[in-house]
Amino acid sequence: MITHPTIFTVVDNEEIGSAMAYLLRSNDYPIVEAPSTDIAVAKAPNENFDLILLDCDMPLPEALAAARRIRARAAKGDLPIVVVDTDLASGPQGSKLGTEPNEYVVRVIELDELINVLSYILRSQSDSA
C-alpha cells in the first residue's frame, strides 16, 4: 500500500471544503482540515503535514499572509503551498508578500488537474529531500 503525504486543507467555505476533502480522500490522501486561516495558524504547530492547500474566499494578499503564518508555525520547514483561487490574474501578488505559492489552480477546475498538481509538487519535494 502506498502512503501518500498528508495535506493541510484551509478552506473557509463548508461546501467547497467538503468537496475538497472528498476528492483528496478518494485519492488516498490523508488530510488535516482547518475551516479558517485563524484555526489553521493555531493548528499548524500540532499537526504533521507535507503541503498546504489554501482555498479561501478572501483577497489573495490576505490569504498568502495567512499561508506565511501557517508555514512559519508548521512543524516541518518550508512547506509547498497550492492556492486554489477564482482568478489566476491575482497570482503574482504572492511574491510581494515574501510567500510565493508553488502553484495556483483556478477554483473551477478539473478535479484531475488538482490531483496532478498536488502529486507533482509532493513528488518534487520528496526528490529534493
Pair type for strands 31-34 and 81-85: unpaired
Q: Which three cell numbers stand for residue 30?
A: 490523508
Check residue 95 and give its pLDDT: 40
Check residue 76 and give its pLDDT: 75
Of the ranges 43-52, 87-96, 117-126, which one carries the lowest mean pLDDT score? 87-96
* pLDDT tens for each residue of 59-116: 667 777 887 888 888 877 678 888 776 554 454 444 433 455 554 455 555 667 778 8
SS3 state of residue 25 = helix
Across residues 41-59, what is the average pLDDT? Answer: 83
Its CATH architecture, for the domain 7-128, is 3-Layer(aba) Sandwich (3.40)
Interatomic CA distance for residues 41 and 73, integer angstroms = 7
Check residue 120 and give its pLDDT: 85
Burial of 30 by CB count in 10 Å (0-12 exposed, 13-18 middle, 19+ buried)? middle
Check residue 105 and give its pLDDT: 52
Domain locations along the chain: 7-128
* pLDDT tens for each residue of 4-44: 889 999 888 888 888 889 889 998 999 999 998 889 889 88
Check residue 32 and give its pLDDT: 93
Which of the pair, 22 or 55, is modelled with greater confidence?
Answer: 22
